[in-house]
Amino acid sequence: MLIIQWDDIVTTFAWGIAVYMVIVIFFYSVILVISMFQLRKEYKLDRVLAYEDYLDEIYTKPISIIVPAYNEEAGIVHSVRSLLSVNYPTYEIIVVNDGSTDHTLKKMIDHYDMKEIKRVVRKQVNSKPISKIYQSAIFAHLFLVDKVNGGKADALNVGLNFSQYPYFCSLDGDSVLEQDALLKVMKPIIDSNGDVIASGGSVRIANGCQIQNGQIQNIGLSDKPLVVMQIIEYLRAFLMGRIGLSRHNLLLIISGAFGVFSKSWVIEAGGYRTDTVGEDMELVVRMHRLLKEKGQRKKIVYVQDPVCWTEVPEDITTLRRQRRRWHRGLFESLWIHRKITLNPKYGSIGLLAFPYFWIVEFFGPMIELSGYIFMILGLFLGGIYIEFAILLFFLSCLYGSIFSMAAVLLEEWSLTKYPKVSDIIKLFLYSLTETIWYRPLTVFWRCEGVWQMLRGDKSWGEMKRKGVLE
């Protein structure tokens, strides 16, 4: 009798995992269809003519580019160089040195001839003290703010206080913008007459690309499998996930690597929180919450065309730390604003977006990990368990590899950032292997993030930059 009960428990458990995966596959399928229709609207759009009018100061709005930098000596000079050459009428660049222990500060001062200046900074959001302020003798719109170390969120708050323009762009210190990226990411804000208060652009991986003088010279793929899989993962996250969610104003995250915000709304929301590792998502969620509570029908959108190129981890240790931190940040953002979950007061954000992020994004890795464990055990237990193991493996292939393959095809169909056919074929073939090795790894690391959180471990896990710029 005991054996029968055990069989019933295991069978129910297996069916539970299978049903969950079918539901998630349905969610992803809907998002994929929405993304395909959205991309189709812009297919073969003349992207040069579409943005020419926005080069006129009459149509654009001035913007402050804030670059928080902590130990970014490997790429900060070249990143700033790329910003100095963007096509945008009026902007300022504010590099915030967050108490770096390397030569980030010295490299900026020496390379751009930075001179110390005196300037009164209005403290609109809380932040650590500013030590010194510099301005370039070569480029009058380039500033360097040296401050006491307080983390990325605090550095962004300092930049927010220092900035003089009504919109600001947050950009990582190891990132390179394409020349028209600012025009493209600002277009929905300008066109909406204030209805859009934040806009995020696509992030692509610079590892394997040839970058000189802050400009992309040749787009290519890294020869490291770990990097190639991250490229596929980014394509899937941006071209599928964010397009689909943005279409119905359900976007809960704008990447900290590249996003534009209305300064007044961010200040009203209180700026960036410094007590979370996911400050970018938490701010967007807080802005959604503020909008709903004030009864404002504003939008937060994602634009697939503007591209920012950034460096990603090339070794397992660093990537593992990053994924654990991201998952902790996801939980903190959802938990801090948990009252939104299934609360009709917050409309589709509470009834659709939050349940999706809780069920699919947060709990998903734990359920997936259970499925992987069951698949392995099923091979040894035999009988009906082997059949369940095969079913779960088939569903995990749909859940992982098939959707990743679809994301690669969407990239080729829409943006065509990778010009070589061999690169697309390589990405396509690599995506077939995702379920076998890469996805189980990331699932395990994200579950480790949950374990870290339960233990009260709040370590950041520094990413060491190798430097991909020349």
Domain that holds residue 12: 2-39+353-455
**Closest CA relative to residue 139, chosen from 121, 161, 114:** 114
**Closest CA relative to residue 291, chosen from 300, 304, 303:** 300
Whether residue 271 lies inside any domain: the answer is: yes
Instruction: Give CA–CA dist 399/111, Å, rounded.
Output: 48
Model pLDDT, residue 2 = 45
Instruction: Give CA–CA dist 53/184, Å, rounded.
Output: 11
If asked whether residues 6 and 53 sit together in one domain, one would say no
If asked whether residues 371 and 249 sit together in one domain, one would say no
Task: Tell me the two tokens of residue 17.
Answer: 């995992």
What's this model's pTM, rounded to 2 decimal places?
A: 0.91
How open is the CA angle 176-310-433, to the nearest 5 degrees?
145
Model pLDDT, residue 307 = 83
DSSP string of 336-352, one letter each residue: HTGGGTT-GGGHHIIII
Whether residue 460 lies inside any domain: the answer is: no
Model pLDDT, residue 256 = 82
Count the domains in the chain.
2
Phi, psi of 176, rounded to the nearest 5 degrees? -130, 125
pLDDT in tens, 113-122: 999 999 999 9
CATH number of the domain where residue 302 is located = 3.90.550.10
If asked whether residues 229 and 125 sit together in one domain, one would say yes
If asked whether residues 119 and 57 sit together in one domain, one would say yes
Amino acid found at 111: H
Q: Which residues does 314 contact at the CB level (< 8 Å), separation at least 6?
A: 207, 222, 224, 226, 227, 466
**Closest CA relative to residue 287, chosen from 276, 278, 274, 298:** 298
CB-CB contact of 259 with 198 (8 Å): yes
Whether residue 343 lies inside any domain: the answer is: no
Whether residue 224 lies inside any domain: the answer is: yes
Model pLDDT, residue 215 = 78
Task: Tell me the two tokens of residue 316.
Answer: 């397992």
Whether residue 338 lies inside any domain: the answer is: no
Sign for the CA dihedral angle at 354, 359, 360, 362 comes to positive
CB-CB contact of 35 with 244 (8 Å): yes
Type and span of the H or E element at 284 = helix 279-294
Q: Is 466 left (phi over 0), alpha (psi -120 to 50) or beta?
A: alpha
Centroid of chain to Cα 466: 20
If asked whether residues 65 and 162 sit together in one domain, one would say yes
Model pLDDT, residue 461 = 58
Model pLDDT, residue 74 = 83
CB-CB contact of 248 with 302 (8 Å): no
If asked whether residues 148 and 288 sit together in one domain, one would say yes
Model pLDDT, residue 54 = 60
DSSP state of 90: S
Instruction: Give CA–CA dist 290/346, Å, rounded.
Output: 10
Model pLDDT, residue 389 = 82
Whether residue 152 lies inside any domain: the answer is: yes
pLDDT tens for the chain, residues 1 to 470 = 444 576 777 788 888 998 998 888 888 888 888 888 877 776 555 455 455 666 665 667 899 999 999 998 888 998 899 899 898 999 999 999 999 999 999 999 999 999 999 999 999 999 999 999 999 999 999 999 999 999 999 999 999 999 999 999 998 877 888 888 998 899 899 888 889 999 998 888 999 988 877 778 888 899 999 999 999 999 888 888 888 889 889 999 998 889 999 999 999 999 999 999 889 999 999 999 999 999 999 999 998 877 888 889 999 999 999 999 999 999 999 999 999 999 999 999 999 999 999 999 999 999 999 989 988 888 777 777 788 788 888 888 877 888 888 888 877 776 667 778 888 889 989 998 998 999 999 999 999 999 998 888 766 655 565 555 55
If asked whether residues 108 and 7 sit together in one domain, one would say no
If asked whether residues 23 and 96 sit together in one domain, one would say no
DSSP string of 418-449, one letter each residue: ---HHHHHHHHHHHHTIIIIIHHHHHHHHHHH
CB-CB contact of 135 with 153 (8 Å): no
Instruction: Give CA–CA dist 105/101, Å, rounded.
Output: 9
If asked whether residues 52 and 194 sit together in one domain, one would say yes
Q: At what angle do helices 439-455 and 364-381 cross, to 10 degrees?
A: 120
Strand partners, 400: none
Task: Tell me the two tokens of residue 389.
Answer: 């193991």
**Closest CA relative to residue 185, chosen from 248, 238, 264, 124:** 238
Q: How far lies 201's CA from each of 237, 275, 387, in Å?
A: 12, 25, 43
If asked whether residues 308 and 411 sit together in one domain, one would say no
If asked whether residues 101 and 196 sit together in one domain, one would say yes
Instruction: Give CA–CA dist 59/25, Å, rounded.
Output: 42
**Closest CA relative to residue 181, chosen from 83, 59, 69:** 83
Model pLDDT, residue 1 = 43
Q: Which residue has the tokens 């690309």?
A: 209
CB-CB contact of 154 with 127 (8 Å): yes
Strand partners, 302: 200
If asked whether residues 185 and 239 sit together in one domain, one would say yes
R_g of the chain, CA atoms, integer Å: 23
Helices (H), 243-315: 243-246, 263-269, 279-294
Q: At what angle do helices 225-235 and 316-336 cross, to 10 degrees?
A: 30
